[in-house]
Structure 1
């Protein structure tokens, strides 16, 4: 009994001591937590003011009014340059409120970004509207190319990092090009498209007129209407790479394309080739080091090969990169001198002779190029005028170059074979038309392949039907089975498409 009593007393004493110890630890932890919480509740401005190495940065913030921004109760990230970073800053910038505001705004952004976010390499929109990269380089986080000196200082309204150098305000691609004299031919093409657009984000509403419409202290920005084709090089929201061609490189590319766009009017040739080149100078934003020589898609959909060896210099800008090129591998076979295919089910550009006697019925077939093949049936015998036994197709885009002609046949379950013949017609430079009969032959009722017809044909004029050109390249397909031949042949056959294929 005495042993039990002694053990119970020992347990009670131990429990009391443990309780006292836990209370003491809790008091210590609460004190530590409250101190840390109090420290973290300090706003970004207080954090910066508390650091002697940021005194120049804080002083300049006060000069332009950005100090009040860092007192707002919303999340910001500040990449604060240390005092030494401002040593080379010119008096012109320090004394120009516009330039100084833009520079300081290039170091502050909304939302919180810790050093861990640099693993994702985000493009961060800064308060001045520009974008900067937050990345990992050599295992260390850096902002806009500036190394972080200290990082992840938590404040009540965001994150503070310090950096060892200023991150200069970069122009965007278009601003840079407007100040550059490296690309005379490119700029002479783009300049007529220059325009001024209303900047609604930076214009300030100052009242209303008598009609109740808002009146703005308006801000206009320089832009270019051609950007609707190639991408807005004046926008900070996207990342592009512009392939800048000095005049000698431009002329080389022009000479490569000119023969494929032969037209009677030399000015029309020039404008057409210039547009082809200009439409293929923008790719998605990549640096020179990311180029491998593989094909990249331009903003207008053409595939071009771009390798690091073709880039003389690279300029990093706020919305991407500008390359100065010593060569450009823009291939005519990927732009204009390529296959021109006509799907026979397409009624636009297709003509049928005397439709009451000839029918073309579109039928679904997953093996066909457009998932459709066509059952062509002639109802009556061909006559001498050939007005009721053909259909004709017009090709969309044909270079002034040499082509083969292919027809892809498809079985339609006809009971016998059919005989066909053909007629090619194309425009000449003087506006006349050349017509070439092409010998046909037997089309078996189970034929399911692409067949070459005729020889090699060279077209003297560039044709683009989508631009309402008066020039054309057309092919007629005739059914060539008389009444007497119906014991051997049918007037029914299947076809998928007709295609012009480059012969070089």
Structure 2
């Protein structure tokens, strides 16, 4: 008897728990279906068909082949417009009907409570429907076995996105036609909807397309989740600016030059909305477009931004489109030997770092010994005496994108090793009051810059240590080979920017000679593209078997375009 009593207590607890569980579920289900007219009574298509006030919408769904979709096992939310909302569209083309249908169906299910908490939902056309524009006729949800139907009192006609709008005005604007000419359409299988089967058993789709275009990699004009402002210029204004661009984007042929100028101008006329305010817009490429004297002739509000048709826009070139180029020393493209190159953290450096090459330099001066005879005093400058390269014309390589423009070249090469600039009180040329005065007891940092032009063979160093393909050289490879380079000189311990000058180079390995008298500063780049720069040591060398060819320090290289417009 005692044992039976013990078993009854747990049994009663279980029965109580189960009863409480089902009671709780009923309460939750009651709460869920409290605002539902029909519960799991067929699919959403049948719910639409059975409602007389949705007969126009049902007819549209059938006409465009979306009836099979709404009978499928997917989950849908249908915002079905009433007959009064669709009365003006009842006799529209199939394209208009399809646009309406796709803009009122969403995947997944959202009841009224969920919709009220959302600002937008994505429809099957990929567009984000603003729910503040939707007038749901009742708070009751029509729950079906594959979704929910809400009756709405207005029809929302979707706006085109920016790319779709540009397609709709093809042939009117050079800017548009050039952009669209680069497009390939690829079927988006995920968003394409099966609408039936043809007489041969092939599946029919309402095809959704993905646009492949190199412009769209940078500016997603077809993406409904992006937001842009695009300035669309009349053909005259666009042509004027393209001609302005083309002067600085010269390539091998006029056709290629025009193509590049067009490409860059198109991108410079697209903006994030936050940067399209006032009279000066800043493009996605950081280029400022002056609209102070521009006239707005038309505007289209797209589903993912705004298109403004304008004339009178201007783009300044100097320090706007064509900016000063900063090449950070640590941004190496390559080096003769990476194991002798050190990236250093320095608070004074422009990017927080500079780069140093571990070489060795000797400087000497004459002196008199105690007995009055002449003697030579030698000063050694290195980073580590047991780890350095003795290669002639050791190089640090950089890859630099240039426009077809003249540049002045500056750099900062700061040797901050105190042992290199402590000086020698017995050196008659040394002056602690003048740290920039050259003397043997302070290391003189002399570095060469070789350049290859865009479109030409890149710089190279042969096995003997000669630098090849330097654009300044003449009669290369012959007995009358003339060598030149840009050169900068500064004392160790001097932290300042130096302008480079063109210098004659002598001997096989380019010992630094005199400054050229004819335009010693200008680097003339006749063509746009990528150029290779070599920063080299070796201020002096008569052969390639010595070892004291010098060190390299580099904070940055600065190229300033010499233009006025």
Quick one: which of 394, 408, 415 aligns to 2:412?
Answer: 408
Q: Identify the residue that residue 491 of structure 2 maps to in structure 1.
A: 443
1-structure distance, mates of 2:343, 2:69:
67
The answer on 1:496 being equivalent to 2:555 is yes
1:167 corresponds to 2:232: no
Distance 1:151 1:116, change over 3 A: farther
SS at 1:396's partner residue?
A: strand
Is 1:419 matched with 2:444? yes
Q: Is the contact made by 1:130 and 1:318 (CA closer than 8 Å) also made in structure 2?
A: no
Shift of 1:276: 1.4
Query: Among residues 83, 104, 121, which one is paired with 1:107 in the alignment?
Result: 104
| C-alpha displacement of 1:429 | 11
CA-CA distance at 1:270 after TM superposition: 1.4
Equivalent pair of 2:400/2:533 in contact (CA under 8 Å): no
**8 A contact 1:254–1:273 mirrored in 2:** yes
Q: Which of 322, 326, 343 does residue 337 from structure 1 map onto?
A: 322
Q: Determine the C-alpha separation between the residues in 2 that align with 1:118 and 1:329.
A: 46
Match of 2:127 among 128, 131, 150: 131
Structure 1 unpaired stretches of 5+:
1-28, 136-140, 208-213, 466-471, 484-488
Q: Are the counterparts in 2 of residues 261 and 399 from structure 1 also a CA contact under 8 Å? A: yes
8 A contact 2:356–2:551 mirrored in 1: no
- Could you tell me how far 1:463 is from its partner in structure 2? 4.0
Give the direction of change, closer, same or farther, for the CA distance of 1:283–1:116 in structure 2 (3 Å limit).
Answer: farther
Alignment length, in residue pairs? Answer: 429
Query: For structure 2, which runs of at least 5 residues remain unmatched after alignment?
Result: 1-26, 365-390, 422-441, 457-469, 474-483, 502-519, 543-547
Q: How does 1:449-488 map to 2 (within 5 A)?
A: 449-454=496-501, 457=522, 459-465=524-530, 472=531, 474=533, 478=537, 480=539
1:233-284: per-residue Cα shift (whole Å, max 9, x none)? 4555655544433312211321332222234632332122122123444445
Label 1:113 to 1:448 Cα distance change in 2 as closer, same or farther (>3 A).
farther
2:182 is equivalent to residue 178 of structure 1: no
8 Å contact from structure 2 (residues 326, 559) kept in 1: yes
1:41/1:116 CA distance change after superposition, 3 Å? closer
Other-structure match for 2:342: 362
Task: Confirm or deny: 8 A CA contact 2:291 2:313 kept in the other structure.
Answer: no
CA distance in 2, matches of 1:274, 1:247: 12
Residue 378 of structure 1 corresponds to which residue in structure 2? 360
1:142 Cα deviation after fit: 1.1
Indicate if the aligned counterparts of 1:378 and 1:389 stay in contact, CA closer than 8 A. Answer: no
> What corresponds to 1:14 in structure 2?
none
Please give the secondary structure, in 2, of the residue aligned with 1:262: coil
> Could you tell me which residue of structure 2 aligns to residue 86 of structure 1?
86
Superposed, which structure 2 residues align to 1:217-366 within 5 Å?
221=209, 223-227=211-215, 229-231=217-219, 233-234=221-222, 238-263=226-251, 265-283=253-271, 286=273, 291-292=277-278, 298=284, 301-304=285-288, 312-326=297-311, 328=313, 332=317, 337-348=322-333, 361-366=341-346
Deviations 1:122-168, CA, capped at 9 Å, x for gaps: 2x3223x2414315xxxxx214xxxx26454333243625233x322
Would the alpha carbon gap of residues 294 and 396 (structure 1) be closer, same or farther in structure 2, given more than 3 Å must change?
same
Q: Distance in 2 between matches of 1:126 and 1:50?
A: 23
**Secondary structure of 1:91 counterpart:** coil
The separation in 1 between residues aligned to 2:401 and 2:49, in whole angstroms, is: 67
Does structure 2 retain, via aligned residues, the 8 Å contact 1:422–1:478? yes
- Provide TM-score, normalisation by structure 2: 0.59
Task: Say if 1:118 and 1:419 are closer, same or farther in 2 by CA, change over 3 A.
Answer: farther
Bigger Cα displacement from structure 2, 400-409 vs 49-58: 49-58
- Classify 1:177/1:442 alpha carbon distance in 2 versus 1 (closer, same or farther; 3 Å): closer
How far residue 365 of structure 1 moved from its aligned partner, in angstroms, is: 0.8
Task: Write the deviation string for residues 185-208 of structure 1: whole angstroms up to 9, x where unpaired.
Answer: 23443455343424434376989x
- Indicate the larger mover: 113-122 or 369-378: 113-122
- Secondary structure (helix, strand or coil) at the match of 1:153 reads coil
Instruction: Report the alpha carbon displacement of residue 318 of structure 1 after superposing the two structures with TM.
Output: 4.5
CA deviation vs aligned residue, 1:372-403 (integer Å, no higher than 9, x gap) = 42145235689xxxx93564755512223343
